[in-house]
């Protein structure tokens, strides 16, 4: 009997009341009463205090792998260092690449981890590892960070999506995976434009028809769910219940609704606009937003590439930090800047840097983080970690702890307990607030 788990689905205990308008007399009026459109934006000021306490994550995913030497771990003066200088930051003793002058003035909000050794320098495998914090087993598909955060920080009945993933560049387009957590936590995926698929009502159906057929469906759905004791059936009904709210959140994806000063601040680039959308989303209560920026895979012309991309990253990330801070959201929002790996310290004959997973960097900003801290150290040539080596597991444990999620918490796959991070994994406590 050891593996037989109790059935906890007390669905009978919270049966949904049958709709009032089922009775003949009540029918016509009840439709009218139910017509208020759920509007996430409208509810914002009301829920502001609650929302502020809710924690969020914005993941800036540097797809293809950014160079640690041109960002967080410069090696000026060394032949591996490249042409760019290191500059001082507003945290004494911490230097970063001169390509990030704006972040240098905001170093007090951010911690740097300079000692990642993740051992996988292949795009697919590396991305999978850094998305999930560990490698899949043949028969266990792990959920990615977004799915776990959606599950831990999202509300089951949320009217906004709880995991949004934006990826519009063609390079290595990755869908994200809820793994064993199931489709409820799969990302709303935006790969073509800034608007999610099927979020707009078709023109050929009126809003009233759309609303009313949803009401009819709900009556049938609730009647059917009664006595079935099935989470699957309940999830069907709750997915449909979320539709109108999600459609109302269409506005969240529309940057043209944002005051011009903010659009100007983030800049007219696609990445800037997506990060602005990310801010709009988390402000409305979305727990996890990933924005992927492609083209970091600089096997040739690494320095031109990084001059352009790091300058943009510096600008957009700084704007985001300022914006969140001004809104009182920074202390509840964790910004993770991460890719699948770093780049080789050695410069190749095409003036490029190749894949490198043995000694690279990432940054964490905001929620739960000790700003200005630096963890780990690489050798003068950048080829290896000399102090504080950590892998994907430690990074994920740190992220969970920063968000107030117990990294040792178990999920159950059948009878098998699966902790959020592999047993024995510890967070980097020195960078946690």
How many Å is the Cα radius of gyration of the chain?
23
Residue 139 binds to another protein (criterion: CB under 8 A): yes
Count of chain residues binding another protein (CB under 8 A): 74
Residue 73 CB, nearest approach to another protein (Å): 32
Taking a C-beta distance cutoff of 8 angstroms, is the pair 322, 102 a contact?
A: no
Residue nearer to another protein on the CB measure, 164 or 316: 164
Instruction: Name which of 201 and 377 has its Cβ closer to another protein.
Output: 201
Nearer to another protein, 213 or 346 (CB): 213
Question: Is 327 a binder of another protein (CB under 8 A)?
Answer: no
Give the β-pairing of 416-419 and 56-62: unpaired
Q: Residue 210 belongs to what H/E stretch?
A: helix 207-225
- Which one of 38, 41, 199, 351 is in contact with another protein (CB under 8 A)? 199
Stretch 348-407 residues interacting with another protein (CB under 8 A)? none
Q: Does 261 bind another protein (CB under 8 A)?
A: no
Spatial neighbors of 407 by CB under 8 A, at least 6 apart, are 396, 397, 400, 401, 419, 420, 421, 425, 427
Which C-beta is closer to another protein: that of 199 or that of 307? 199
Shortest reach from residue 429's CB to another protein, in Å: 22
- Asked whether position 219 contacts another protein by CB under 8 A, the answer is yes
Q: How far is CA 215 from the centre of its chain?
A: 33
Among 235, 270, 311, 379, binds another protein (CB under 8 A): 235
Name the one range near another protein by CB under 8 A: 76-84, 308-316, 414-422, 424-432: 414-422
Which residue in the set 52, 102, 201, 299 belongs to the binding site for another protein (CB under 8 A)?
Answer: 201
Minimum gap (Å) between residue 83 Cβ and another protein: 42
Q: Binding to another protein by residue 216, rule CB under 8 A? A: yes
194 binds another protein (CB under 8 A): no
Nearer of residues 75 and 132 to another protein, judged by Cβ: 132
Q: Which lies closer to another protein via its Cβ, residue 410 or residue 430?
A: 410
Smallest separation, CB 43 to another protein (Å): 19
Is residue 209 a contact point for another protein (CB under 8 A)?
yes
Choose among 297, 319, 299: nearest CA to 309: 297
The separation between CA 265 and the C-alpha centre of its own chain, rounded to angstroms, equals 22
Q: Pick from 37, 47, 220, 386 the residue near another protein by CB under 8 A.
A: 220
416 binds another protein (CB under 8 A): yes
Which residues inside 157-176 make contact with another protein, applying CB under 8 A? 161
**Considering only residues 97-116, where is the footprint of another protein by CB under 8 A?**
none
- Consecutive H or E run containing 271: helix 270-283
Q: Is 210 in the site for another protein (CB under 8 A)?
A: yes
Backbone angles phi, psi at 105, to 5 degrees: -85, 0
Find, among 71, 122, 118, the residue nearest to 99 by Cα. 71
Q: Can you tell me which of 85, 173, 175, 213 binds another protein, judged by CB under 8 A?
A: 213
Q: How far is the CB of 197 from another protein (least distance, A)?
A: 7
Question: Of the listed pieces 109-117, 169-177, 183-191, 365-373, which binds another protein according to CB under 8 A?
Answer: 183-191
To another protein, the closest distance from the beta carbon of 61 in angstroms equals 21
Of residues 188 and 405, the one with the C-beta less far from another protein:
188
C-alpha pair distances (Å), 294 with each of 70, 102, 152, 423: 16, 21, 28, 33
CA dist., res. 169 & res. 271, Å (int): 10
Which of 88, 207, 410, 430 is the binder for another protein (CB under 8 A)?
410
Residue 252 contacts another protein per CB under 8 A? no
Q: Does 188 bind another protein (CB under 8 A)?
A: yes
User: Three-class SS of residue 386?
Assistant: strand
The burial class, CB within 10 Å (0-12 / 13-18 / 19+), for 168 is middle
Instruction: Please report the DSSP string for 309-378 in residue order.
Output: HHHHHHHHHHHHHHHHHHTT-GGGEEEEEEES-EE-SSPPTTS---EE-SSEEEEEEETTB-TT-EE-EE
User: How many residues belong to the chain?
Assistant: 433
* Contact flag: residue 226 with another protein (CB under 8 A): yes
Nearest-angstrom CA–CA distance, 129 and 138: 14
Our finding on whether 14 is near another protein (CB under 8 A) is no
CB neighbourhood size of 27 (10 A): 12
Phi, psi dihedral angles at 296 (to 5 degrees): -85, -10
User: Could you say which residues in the range 19-48 bind another protein, by CB under 8 A?
Assistant: 21-24, 27-28, 31
Exposure string for 122-153, b = 16+ CB within 10 A, e = fewer? ebebbbbbbbbbbeeeeeeebbbbbbbbbbbb
């Amino acid at each position: 009997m050891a593996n037989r788990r109790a059935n906890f689905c007390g669905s009978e205990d919270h049966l949904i009341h049958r709709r009032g308008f089922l009775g003949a007399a009540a029918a016509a009026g009840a439709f009218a009463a139910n017509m208020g459109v759920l509007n996430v934006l409208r509810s914002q000021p009301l829920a502001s205090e609650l929302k502020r306490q809710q924690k969020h994550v914005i993941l800036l995913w540097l797809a293809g792998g950014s160079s640690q030497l041109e960002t967080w771990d410069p090696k000026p003066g060394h032949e591996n260092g490249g042409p760019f200088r290191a500059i001082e930051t507003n945290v004494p003793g911490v230097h970063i690449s001169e390509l990030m002058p704006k972040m240098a003035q905001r170093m007090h909000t951010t911690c740097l981890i300079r000692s990642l050794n993740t051992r996988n320098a292949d795009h697919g495998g590396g991305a999978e590892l850094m998305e999930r914090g560990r490698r899949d087993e043949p028969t266990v598909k792990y959920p990615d960070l977004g799915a776990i955060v959606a599950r831990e920080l999202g509300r089951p009945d949320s009217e906004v999506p709880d995991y949004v993933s934006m990826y519009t560049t063609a390079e290595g387009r990755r869908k994200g995976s809820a793994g064993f957590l199931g489709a409820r936590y799969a990302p709303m995926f935006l790969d073509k434009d800034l608007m999610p698929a099927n979020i707009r009502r078709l023109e050929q159906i009126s809003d009233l028809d759309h609303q009313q057929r949803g009401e009819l469906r709900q009556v049938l759905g609730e009647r059917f769910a009664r006595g079935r004791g099935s989470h699957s059936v309940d999830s069907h009904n709750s997915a449909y219940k979320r539709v109108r709210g999600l459609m109302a959140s269409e506005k969240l994806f529309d940057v043209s609704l944002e005051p011009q000063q903010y659009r100007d601040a983030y800049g007219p680039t696609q990445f800037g606009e997506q990060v602005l959308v990310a801010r709009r989303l988390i402000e409305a209560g979305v727990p996890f937003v990933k924005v992927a920026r492609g083209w970091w895979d600089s096997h040739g012309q690494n320095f031109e590439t990084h001059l352009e991309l790091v300058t943009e990253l510096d600008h957009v990330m700084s704007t985001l930090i300022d914006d969140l801070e001004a809104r009182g959201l920074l202390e509840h929002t964790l910004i993770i800047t991460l890719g699948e790996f770093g780049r080789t310290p050695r410069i190749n004959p095409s003036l490029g840097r190749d894949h490198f997973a043995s000694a690279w960097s990432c940054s964490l900003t905001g929620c739960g983080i000790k700003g200005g801290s630096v963890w780990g150290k690489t050798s003068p040539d950048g080829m290896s970690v000399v102090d504080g080596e950590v892998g994907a597991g430690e990074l994920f444990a740190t992220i969970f702890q920063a968000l107030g999620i117990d990294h040792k918490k178990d999920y159950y796959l059948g009878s098998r307990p699966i902790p959020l991070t592999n047993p024995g994994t510890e967070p980097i406590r020195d960078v946690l607030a």
